[in-house]
Amino acid sequence: MASHYVVRHVDRAAPDTVAVLRDAGVATVHEAAGRTGLLGPAIQARQSGTVIAGSAITVSCPPGDNLMIHAAVEVCRAGDVLVVTTTSPSTDGMFGDLLATSLRARGVLGLVIDAGVRDIATLRKMGFPVWSRAVHAQGTVKASPGSVNVPVVADGQIIRPGDIVVADDDGVLAVPATSGAEVAAAAATRLAAETGKRAKLAAGTLGVDLYQLRPLLAALGVQYVDRLPS
């Protein structure tokens, strides 16, 4: 039996759910999801001010080999986010502007890769967003098998095909498609509450009063004094 697969079918989340999560952003969605799903900080945005959300197309590659990224392009659809991992740590530049051009033709929104990218200036000029572990000119080969649309681990977080990936300047988050609607509703509630809090803070209300933190400070033994005791 084969041990490497290209899985063609992915169950994708509803577009309106994805849109709510995109508009909420990584930090709010992380809180709404019970502080779950966040990738580690090693995978960073390589551009500024961009937020995307879409269904994950996952790729597992041997390090230094981008053959399976090319194989994955065929199964991508408009609105997807490509998520690439390697079977052992790698910072090689496995992705550049040519692959980005191919993905853009399929309507892919961006790339999350637990390895390196290169041609970063061109990628920025193209407006193709990437989140990566490294930027490194080291090239790769196309020689070894891997898999497309299998569960992968990116910087400590399991990502399954079809998971909703949200990525912005704060990092990258994965939400299971099956809980996407629930998390989106919780995120919308948080956003509404934050709007009210923001207005009160802008009007001069202190956080210790808005969040009723004075009793907690007192219970923890924090004392207010005009000067430290001599």
Which residues does the annotation place in the binding site for Mg(2+)?
119
Query: Residues 21, 28: contact at Cβ < 8 Å?
Result: no
Query: Residues 180, 165: contact at Cβ < 8 Å?
Result: no
Query: Residues 142, 56: contact at Cβ < 8 Å?
Result: no
6 closest CA partner among 91, 95, 87, 74: 74
Query: Residues 165, 76: contact at Cβ < 8 Å?
Result: no
Q: Which residues are annotated as a binding site for substrate?
A: 96-99, 118
Q: Which two tokens stand for residue 181?
A: 């609607």
Q: CA triplet 58, 97, 167: central angle to 5 degrees?
A: 45
Q: Which residues are annotated as a binding site?
A: 96-99, 118-119
Bridge partners for 177 per DSSP: none
Q: Which residues, in sequence order, are CB contacts of 89 under 8 Å at separation 6+?
A: 63
Q: Which two tokens stand for residue 124?
A: 């920025």
Based on C-alpha coordinates, what's the Rg of the chain? 21
Q: What are residue 226's phi and psi, to 5 degrees?
A: -75, -35
Q: Which two tokens stand for residue 85?
A: 């991992």
